[in-house]
Amino acid sequence: PHHNLALFFMDTPPEDHRHFDTSALPLYGTLVKVHHASRENGKLQFVAQGLTRVRIRTWLKHHRPPYLVEVEYPHQPSQPTDEVKAYGMALINAIKELLPLNPLYSEELKNYLNRFSPNDPSPLTDFAAALTSATGNQLQEVLDCVPMLKRMEKVLPMLRKEVEVARLQNEISAEVNRQIGEHQREFFLKEQLKVIQQELGLTKDDRSADLEQFQQRLASKTLPAAAQKRIDEEMGKLSILETGSPEYAVTRNYLEWATALPWGVYGKDKLDLRHARKVLDQHHAGLDDIKDRIIEFLAVGAYKGEISGSIVLLVGPPGVGKTSIGKSIA
């Protein structure tokens, strides 16, 4: 069986629905017919069909559920004015603009619009308000607004704003889809071109091209045995890794750096102690112990005729000048 209930909006539901301040309820609500009621996990769920606007006249029972009220039905003029009809046509046109812009609105909803007419503006205006993304409090303001023209003046800007937002969302979505489509098309064309070139023998795959490039770089260089062994191991690893894997990129970057080094190319040692002291003093004030140790290192090299053996090690916390003094040495 169907039951009629009056539903009223509460912005903040009470902690205990059995005891609450009745003055917190708005005066205006909606008379609904309840369909398909069911209770699950202590909560009542139902489908409600809105019938008409109601206003609380007096409370008959408010101490405990079920609450009873005496309601009245706000009267609407039977014949709308020309201005109200004009607003009604504006609402219908705005709804017709909105429905195609939002995919959530089904064909049934579009057909439902045909039931409304400017000659019956009250349900048309309430239907238009329900299509917007207005807050509960904003919709309650529409429900509280009984005078027809005033209510339509409130709803039409809400509906126009909804149309503009939906149109903007569509434009953004279309632009994003266009960009994605262009990127996908470019990717597919490049992949097709790569396959065609491979079939014609015009190019090699990425792995073969990388290995050949590294081998060409090393062909004219003389590497120490340890360095040659390590590079051979990394090139062997590169030959079996998938080109799209992160490890392939790491290995390739290492070989890119290792094969670019000037293996077997040595510059002439500059052992001019006066020039070295001048450069160190120009670049750094203080650090005398460090500069003296560097000059001693160069002096030993000048005495022996070559720099070999020990390695200069700079140790210290960040910001004391290790990197900058290394640049001065270079």
Cβ-based burial of 138 (10 A; exposed 0-12, middle 13-18, buried ≥19): middle
Q: By three-state DSSP, how is residue 51 classified?
A: strand
- Distance in angstroms (rounded) separating the CA atoms of residues 27 and 132: 23
Contact 282, 276 (CB under 8 A): no
Mean pLDDT for the chain? 83
65 to each of 16, 19, 20, 45, 189, how far by Cα in Å? 11, 9, 10, 17, 69
Query: Could you read off the pLDDT of 62-109 as tens digits, one per residue?
Result: 777 778 889 999 887 778 889 999 999 999 999 888 888 877 776 767
Record the tokens describing residue 250, joined without a space.
């790491």
Residue 192's pLDDT is 81
Regarding the domain delimited by 75-203, which CATH topology (the fold level of the hierarchy) does it fall under? Answer: Methane Monooxygenase Hydroxylase; Chain G, domain 1 (1.20.58)
Residue 272 has pLDDT above 80, yes or no: no
Domain ranges of the chain: 4-72, 75-203, 206-260, 273-329
Mean pLDDT of 217-231: 88
CA quadruple 139, 141, 147, 153: dihedral sign:
negative
* Beta-sheet pairing, 3-7 with 28-40: antiparallel
Residue 2's pLDDT is 58
| Cis peptide leading into residue 66 (ω within 30°) | yes
* Beta-sheet pairing, 43-61 with 28-40: antiparallel
Residue 112 has pLDDT above 80, yes or no: no
Q: Which residues contact 287 (CB under 8 A, 6 or more apart)?
A: 321, 325
- Distance in angstroms (rounded) separating the CA atoms of residues 164 and 98: 9
